[in-house]
Structure 1
């Protein structure tokens, strides 16, 4: 089955709501669908839009016009395409874009037929290279799309569907071709900017009494009225892709920055709990969350949320890295490990990546129990995520673990981990947050000036010294002293 999948959403940064903007009383999306339905080679047309409420009208418009609808990720368009193709059992995928208001059914057909003639030799093709931008058609098999969805990592490759295919000639055979002798590839006729919309209106007005018109008719008009080309002169139609490439570079730079902070690319991230808070929602519903910057206990600041956000940030750049959440539960409450996992899932970390460690009850046992998991899974590069105030005490506990632990099993495991050269890093969540978003710089600086933070630093320093002096013990603590609360 040959499916034409039209990507459409209202969330354009350069021309918000563009696919629903009207020309001659009809939304751009409607004009696109009307023209695509005239193609003879498409067995089915699917509008693939986001699952955001803002795109409800896109879905309604497609349904009203009698075409199928698939709703998925807003920004991961590659995944959205793959899921749409899989749902409707497409064998051949024809990629169309709603902002190409002048899409020509003749060009769709000739591109699909070119692919059909050569599909035993090629994996991908597109409209003739010498045609104007704005008549864009790409054709590839479902198997090619499936592999791209499985393997593509870069933002530009997820947001723009086909770059992974074109960027990997060692994996895919892409065939580019031309038709005719005239090169019109410099013309930009999709609707991406306000000036593009102005040009589209004038072109439609020129053919108001002509019924259906095609690429050749538009080219003829522009030869007769060359001043129209000045309306959006200097634009290519590929500015969005260029922006994504710049964002790729930023992400690549961040990968190196985070690698420098951690010391390596971790196989596992172990996030140490820093307390949770019980809250009541609408109707008295009870929920639990990590502590925020202004919350602590008798011993000072906690800010467990920083550890969760930092973990999610690192995990997003290292998608193969496993995550361990730690700490047991208080009576009648979910474990800290489960609370942290739910928060990571809300930050787009897959549930399946998170391993629960629910036996520990304090920092030392968090180290002990999580390293048992690490040893069993044979991880060689481990990053503990904790707060800046906590790093030195945690590192000291790891370095002096064998002297502190009463468990022969735990001593043996940690000794073996050290002996075989497993890399272990203790990472300040605050360092990650300040690289993630500069707004955290002010928040963290203000936090460090508070009495609660200074109190926590003093307690942590005393604990570290006790570890170094071999007289560290877990101090008996009243429940009310450890009760996390707002300050």
Structure 2
């Protein structure tokens, strides 16, 4: 099984322009993500997907591989689909977030292991929620799964609702999960989902994976114990740099 790891990286960002090029302890963010991805035993090849010459130049400077993509893509998934068409011999594509400079390679390997099961089309990771701060934070997508560990629904709202318990007792009443934003796709499924139109639930929650569920795709999940640290704002970067 040949697995293509793709790191979508764009320069424009509303909250943090030029984020992939920001320096973190002597290396650019995109270099740190790339080097961590290379440590994953399951990946056959790692590619940076970008539409920006400055990012492409930076990737070349540290010996990385990049593919220039269209500037019109609405999501990292769309960017991955374009790159994947250049590598038709790879059966699986892993979409690695470009704003997680210290991503653990074991998370990538765990996600790839989902495709050892038959008929898996799409996959992602989830993590148990242990604090009320996460449970009731609308910026942290929650996910509910079925008995096969397939995602039933994702929401920024806390789900499921515990009817017969006070909110301070919810963590004692139910196992809640949050979504970890790394995706895996079969090459065929990736091309299919990028042709789908935005769905009502996706627009309501601003979560593109709901488009896939609404159109009948199953999303396999696996539980990770590893925490991810994403850099969405300059303030997030300070937390990483000065973390004891």
TM over 0.5: yes
2:174 is aligned with 1:174: no
Q: 1:56 maps to which residue?
A: 53
Deviations 1:1-51 (A, max 9, x none): 21001011110110111111111121111111111111110001111111x
Distance in 2 (CA, whole Å) between partners of 1:190 and 1:91 is 28
Q: Which has the greater radius of gyration?
A: 1
- Cα deviation for residue 135 of structure 1 reads 6.3
Distance in 2 (CA, whole Å) between partners of 1:149 and 1:179 is 27
Three-state SS of the structure 2 residue aligned to 1:152 is coil
User: Structure 1 65/13 Cα, relative in aligned 2: closer, same or farther at 3 Å?
Assistant: same
User: Structure 1 93/192 Cα, relative in aligned 2: closer, same or farther at 3 Å?
Assistant: same
- Cα deviation for residue 164 of structure 1 reads 2.9
Report the number of matched residues: 190
Three-state SS of the structure 1 residue aligned to 2:223 is coil
Deviations 1:349-402 (A, max 9, x none): xxxxxxxxxxxxxxxxxxxxxxxxxxxxxxxxxxxxxxxxxxxxxxxxxxxxxx
Q: 1:150 maps to which residue?
A: 195
After superposition, residues 218-237 of structure 1 pair within 5 angstroms as none
Q: 1:7 maps to which residue?
A: 8
Distance in 1 (CA, whole Å) between partners of 2:47 and 2:207 is 17
User: Structure 1 31/135 Cα, relative in aligned 2: closer, same or farther at 3 Å?
Assistant: farther
Three-state SS of the structure 2 residue aligned to 1:128 is strand
Distance in 2 (CA, whole Å) between partners of 1:69 and 1:160 is 27
2:239 is aligned with 1:194: no
Distance in 2 (CA, whole Å) between partners of 1:31 and 1:148 is 29
Q: Which protein has the bigger helix share?
A: 1
Q: 1:406 maps to which residue?
A: none
Distance in 1 (CA, whole Å) between partners of 2:235 and 2:111 is 29
- Cα deviation for residue 58 of structure 1 reads 0.8
- Cα deviation for residue 149 of structure 1 reads 1.8
Please tell me whether the aligned partners of residues 103 and 136 of structure 1 are also in contact (alpha carbons under 8 angstroms): no
Q: Which protein has the bigger strand share?
A: 2
Distance in 1 (CA, whole Å) between partners of 2:50 and 2:30 is 11
Distance in 2 (CA, whole Å) between partners of 1:161 and 1:102 is 24
Q: 1:116 maps to which residue?
A: 115
User: Structure 1 98/84 Cα, relative in aligned 2: closer, same or farther at 3 Å?
Assistant: same
- Cα deviation for residue 144 of structure 1 reads 0.5
- Cα deviation for residue 188 of structure 1 reads 6.9
Root-mean-square deviation (Å): 2.8
Deviations 1:416-454 (A, max 9, x none): xxxxxxxxxxxxxxxxxxxxxxxxxxxxxxxxxxxxxxx
Higher relative contact order (CA 8 A, sep 6+): 2
User: Structure 1 147/83 Cα, relative in aligned 2: closer, same or farther at 3 Å?
Assistant: same
Three-state SS of the structure 1 residue aligned to 2:50 is strand
After superposition, residues 435-474 of structure 1 pair within 5 angstroms as none
- Cα deviation for residue 160 of structure 1 reads 7.5
Q: 1:164 maps to which residue?
A: 211
2:186 to 133, 141, 151: 141
Q: 2:154 maps to which residue?
A: none
Distance in 2 (CA, whole Å) between partners of 1:112 and 1:27 is 26
Q: 2:79 maps to which residue?
A: 80
Please tell me whether the aligned partners of residues 124 and 175 of structure 1 are also in contact (alpha carbons under 8 angstroms): yes
User: Structure 1 174/142 Cα, relative in aligned 2: closer, same or farther at 3 Å?
Assistant: same
Distance in 1 (CA, whole Å) between partners of 2:208 and 2:66 is 18
| TM-score w.r.t. length of structure 1 | 0.36
| TM-score w.r.t. length of structure 2 | 0.68
User: Structure 1 67/130 Cα, relative in aligned 2: closer, same or farther at 3 Å?
Assistant: farther
Query: Please, which runs of 5 or more residues in structure 2 have no aligned partner?
Result: 135-139, 141-178
- Cα deviation for residue 179 of structure 1 reads 4.4
